[in-house]
Amino acid sequence: MDGYLDGELDPITNQKIEQHLRECPECDQAYKAHRTFIGAVRNGAPYYKAPAKLHERIQLSLREQTAKEPVRNVAGDAPSFAPSARQTTQTAPSGTKWSLLALAAGIIVAAIVALNFMPQSRRPGDDQFLATQLIASHARSLLANHLTDVPSSDQHTVKPWLDAKLDFAPAIAELSSEGFPLIGGRLDYLDNRPVAALVYGRRKHFINLFIWPAAADVKRTPETMSRQGYQLLHWADSDFNYWAVSDVNINDLQSFKQKFEAQTSRH
Amino acid sequence: MALSLKAEHASETGDFESDRKIVKFVVVQKREETQAPQAQVISFEKAMLPHLDAAYNLAMWLLRNEQDAQDIVQEAYLRAFKSFGGFHGSNGRAWLLTIVRNTSYTFLKKNKAADLTTPFDDEIHACGYESVSPATILEHGEDAALISEAMDELPAEFREILTLRHMEGLSYKEIAEVAEIPPGTVMSRLARARGKLKECLAARIER
């Protein structure tokens, strides 16, 4: 009956059913009822239109993608319908005038876009400057009443609030059972860009975990620093930079990092 | 574009006479090969962004969560972009929806295994059959909230096929491709999905 309703039957079967419906009032009634139902549901079911910012998000991520892999491969052997997850990139032939120009133009445009969203490549002097900024942000947050912008221990409150204000969405770990309760979230500004600050407690101390998107060339080996009585711990994954700043001892920070990574890497 | 290819090959081999034939051949066979990265993005966007609403709608019906749907659609578009070079068909929307669908199911398997069920588990999801007259259906049947709730009680595959048919108007053949089922299964699964929806809707109207 559904095939007939949808007009998807072959002409012979179609004809047979049509004939039957003319002869059999019960079936005809059942058919009409079914058709009414389908019509009502079709009209009534909500159609979800994409929010405007999704359009922009996608355009941005496509441009970031081409900044990472400037020349897309020619997938001559791509499987029929399902996309392949893994791609190899070919590099454009170098030393030739035209393709080099085109590539350079593309990379320049992509780089301008990318520079707006990724931190600059690091040099040792930059790291020291960044450390100064981090400590300043941490210390400032501990002064008069500006520890959090969204004071909630519920990651499902903090995360959407941060996601709405920033152009990235870091995962938040729930660690109160491990001795690191979430105090809340805050916006901050570091390394020339807005960043997320997650505030965790540790006994009577606070840890500021600063998170922002990682550039492709950022160092991935964890590093520690100790300055002015504060401990700083840095690590990065494929998406984000993490800097944990606190006056708790470095072992506690390492433990925090481990537990944070353990939870968020599950996603 | 032909100009850039010609210059490229000329400087490689230094033979200007025979290269003309090679250039023509290359232009026909591998249209994407030397396209600048920004042009690649733009041609992809032109072909695929018009289907954004369809993609988002399908993701919403499968995942039932705005944030997840947005994330999945973004990921699907990235994947589509990466394999765009291999897409030579004419039905961009169906191709994209297949990717959205696969990305969604991967996510569902990882995060919400309870939501997935084989189509043969209808009995477990019984809504309680109530028979309802066509008039009542008409009266309440277009209630978006009721339909949405009733759809929520269906397994993901049923929501998928109802969305593809009712909202995107895909043919049985297209549905078979997107949902990756044999063409013969489309009609029977659609019939079962509609039947189940009618049950769940009727059960809600009666309340």
Minimal Cα–Cα distance from A26 to chain B, Å?
14
CB-CB under 8 Å, A58 with B49: yes
CB-CB under 8 Å, B49 with A55: yes
Q: Which of B83, B192, B204 to mutate to test the interface with A (most CBs of A within 10 A)?
A: B83
Closest CA to A206 of A189, A188, A181: A181
Write the CA distances from A225 to A139, A201, A259, A261, B73, integer angstroms. Answer: 16, 20, 20, 19, 40
Task: Name the token pair of B57.
Answer: 């709608």
pLDDT value of residue A54 = 94
Sheet of A240-246: strand order equals A182-190, A193-202, A205-213, A240-246, A230-236, A223-227
Which pTM does this prediction carry?
0.52
Minimal Cα–Cα distance from A204 to chain B, Å?
35
Closest residue on chain A to B84 (Cα): A75
Residue A36 has its nearest CB partner, among B138, B143, B146, at B138
Q: What is the DSSP string of chain A?
A: -HHHHTT-S-HHHHHHHHHHHHH-HHHHHHHHHHHHHHHHHHHHS---PPPHHHHHHHHHHHHHHHHHS-S----TT--SSSPPS--PPPPPPTT-HHHHHHHHHHHHHHHHHHHHHSPPPP-HHHHHHHHHHHHHHHHHHHSTT-S-SB--S-HHHHHHHHHHHSSS-------GGGT--EEEEEEEEETTEEEEEEEEEETTEEEEEEEEEPPTTS--S-EEEEETTEEEEEEE-SSEEEEEEESS-HHHHHHHHHHHHHHHTT-
Residue B85 has its nearest CB partner, among A1, A2, A74, at A74
Minimal Cα–Cα distance from A123 to chain B, Å?
29
What distance in Å separates the CA atoms of residue B15 and residue A262, rounded to the nearest whole number?
60
CB-CB under 8 Å, B85 with A72: yes
Q: Which of B1, B9, B34 to mutate to test the interface with A (most CBs of A within 10 A)?
A: B34
A182, A198 Cβ separation under 8 angstroms: yes
Task: Name the token pair of A62.
Answer: 């496509």
Number of alpha carbons in the 13 Å side-chain half-sphere of residue A121: 3
Residue A58: CB atoms within 10 A of its CB come to 24
Closest CA to A238 of A87, A116, A84, A68: A68
How high is the ipTM of this complex? 0.75
A vs B, Cβ pairs < 8 A, gives 192
CB-CB under 8 Å, A36 with B134: yes
Residues of B in contact with A102 (CB under 8 A): 4, 34, 36
Residues of B in contact with A37 (CB under 8 A): 134, 137, 141, 194, 198
Task: Name the token pair of B182.
Answer: 């044999």
Higher confidence at residue A121 or residue B56? B56
* Per-residue model confidence as pLDDT tens for chain A (267 residues): 888 888 888 889 899 999 999 999 999 988 888 888 888 888 888 999 999 899 999 999 998 888 777 655 544 434 444 444 444 444 444 445 666 666 667 677 766 666 666 554 555 566 778 888 898 888 888 886 788 888 888 888 899 889 888 888 888 988 888 889 999 999 999 888 899 999 999 888 899 999 999 876 666 677 888 888 899 999 888 888 899 999 898 888 999 999 998 888 765
Closest residue on chain A to B7 (Cα): A98
